[in-house]
């Protein structure tokens, strides 16, 4: 039986970008600079990544709750 090999890659900036999201934020909030819009997107992405990781079975405690620190 073959051994399982974990594979990880960075999709952010490699497979897709958030340029469209940044432009949409600036369109909706005209006082928002493109740099600030990028910071908002980055914060959202990193928070979602953290939450999804903590909710995954590979990071769950024995009681079924999240074992990761927020």
pLDDT digits (tens, 9 = 90+) for 52-63: 777 666 555 555
Q: What is the pLDDT of residue 21?
A: 87
- Give the Cβ contact number of residue 57 at 10 Å: 6
- Please provide residue 16's backbone torsions phi and psi, each rounded to the nearest 5 degrees: -160, 165
Query: Does the pTM of the predicted model rise above 0.85?
Result: no
Q: Tens of pLDDT along 5-51? A: 766 656 666 677 788 889 999 999 999 999 999 999 889 888 887 88
Q: What is the pLDDT of residue 30?
A: 94
Q: How far apart are CA 70 and CA 56, in angstroms?
A: 14
Q: How far apart are CA 33 and CA 65, in angstroms?
A: 39
Q: What is the pLDDT of residue 19?
A: 87
């Amino acid at each position: 039986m073959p051994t399982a090999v974990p594979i990880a890659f960075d999709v952010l900036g490699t497979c897709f970008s958030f340029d469209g999201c940044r432009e949409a934020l600036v369109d909706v909030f005209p006082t928002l600079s493109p740099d600030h819009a990028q910071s908002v997107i980055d914060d959202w992405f990193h928070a979602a990544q953290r939450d999804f990781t903590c909710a995954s079975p590979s990071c769950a405690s024995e009681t079924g709750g999240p074992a990761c620190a927020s």
